[in-house]
Chain A
Amino acid sequence: MSEGLNYTFLIDTFFIALSGVPITLLVTIVALLFALPLGFLLALTRINQVPILNWFSRIYVSFVRGTPIIIQIFIVYASVPLILSLFFEKYNININVYNINPIWYAFIVFSFSTTAILIEVFRSALSTVNKGQLEAAQSVGLSNFQAYRRIVIPQALVVAMPNICTATVNLIKATSLGYAMSLQEITLKAKVAANVGYNYVEAYIDIFLVYIILCSLVEYGFKLYEKRLRRYKYVSA
C-alpha cells in the first residue's frame, strides 16, 4: 500500500481547506467581540469582589477551565435545541430548530468558553497593575471610570496582550471541533473531500498546514501590535 502521497489531491485539497478559513475566522471574531468586553466586565467583578457576580464568575471560569471544549459543545448542541423547541412550542412560533444554521451554535459555544478564559486573563492582568496607579489617578482628580479608562486599562492591556494572543490561537484551534456541529470550517471541508478516495493523510497534511499558517499569522500580528503598545507605554511613561 506504499503508493506514496497523491500530490494532485494534496494541492487541490489545500485550497478546499483554505476555503474553510472565512468560517473559522468569522466564528473566532464573533466569539472575541463577545468575549472581550464581557470577560473584562466580569473580571472587574472578580477584582472588586462584587457580591453575587464575583461568585458566579468563579464557578463559570472553573467549569470552562475544568471541562473539555468538546463536551461543552456536546452539551450546547444537545441542550439548546431542546430549550428552543420548548420555547417555540409554547409561543406557537413556527420554526424548526433543526433548520438552524450550526454557526449559531458555534457562536454560542465559543463565546461562552472564550469569555471564561478572558476573565482569568484580565483578572490577572488587572491585579498586576499597581494599586497605587489607581490611587494616584484619583488623587489628581480623575473619576473612578476615567482612572480605569486612561490609566489602569492601558497598562493592563499591555500585560494581558500575550495571553489574549494565546487565547485567540487556542480559539482558532478549538473551532476545528466545529465538525461536531457540522460547521463548515477548515477541518470538516478537507475531511469531506478526503472521504471520496480515502486520501486522509493528504487531507490532514493540508489541514495541518492551513492551521500553522493561520496561527503563525495571528501570532505575528499580535507581536506587531504588542510592540506598538509597548512603544506607547515607553513614550507615555
Chain B
Amino acid sequence: MLKIKDIHKSFGKNEILKGVDLSIDKGDVVVILGPSGSGKTTLLRCINFLETADSGKATFGDLQVDLHDASKKDIHTIRQKTAFVFQNYNLFNNKTAIENVTEGLIIGRKIPKAEANNIGKKALDKVGLSDKYDSYPSLLSGGQQQRVGIARAVALNPDIILFDEPTSALDPELVGEVLTVMKNIANEGTTMLVVTHEMSFAKDVANRVIFMDGGVVVEEGTPHDIFVSPKEERTKKFLKRVLPEDYTFYI
C-alpha cells in the first residue's frame, strides 16, 4: 500500500538519509527503532512532505510520486491520505479538543460541520476524552494532549498514521495511557508506522520492526527476528544498550 524507494536527504553537508526503502501493507503495524540522530524523524517527515527529500520515489496505492519534486496537488492528496502524530503533540493552541479533531475534516475535506462533529466526538470517545471536548490544549495534561493528537489523526480515517515518538515527551506515568490508546487502534486494523523507543509496544503490537542507524535500514523482520535473533552486529549492540540484561528471557 505504501512503498518508499531509495530516499535520500541531506541537511547542508550532513547526509541524514542514505537510500532508505520501505514497504508497508494495509493493516501493518511497523515500528522503526534506532538510536537518536539516525534519521527516523526525517524519514517520517519526508513521507509527509514536511521536509523535501533530495531524491526518492513513493507509491501510494495507485499514486506514484517523486519525493523530490511532487506537485502541490499530489502533496495535498498524500497528506489527505495520511495523518501524523507529533512528538510534541502540536495541537492547535487556538482550538478546543473537538475543534482540533474536526479542523481537518471540515476545512480540509469539506465534510459538513454536524457530521464532522459526530466523527470528532467518536474519535475523542475512543481515546477516553469524552469529558474534554471543549477544553483548550493549555488545560490538558501531556498525556491528554497526545490522545487528542491521536484522535485528530484517527478521525481523518487515513490510509496510514505516522507516529513520531508519540510518548517520549511525556512524564513516565502518562506513557501508559497513550500506548493503550495506540494498541487499541492498532487492534482495529489501522495501518501504522511508528517511531518509538517503547520496546514493549514493538514486541507486543508490531508485526514488523525496522532497525535504522546512520541513515540506512540495518535490519528488518518480525519482532521475534529482531529481538530474539538479530543478525547484524549494530542491531545487537543497540538492543543490548536499550534492553534490560535479561529482557530476551521474557520473549
Note whether A and B contact each other (Cβ less than 8 A): no
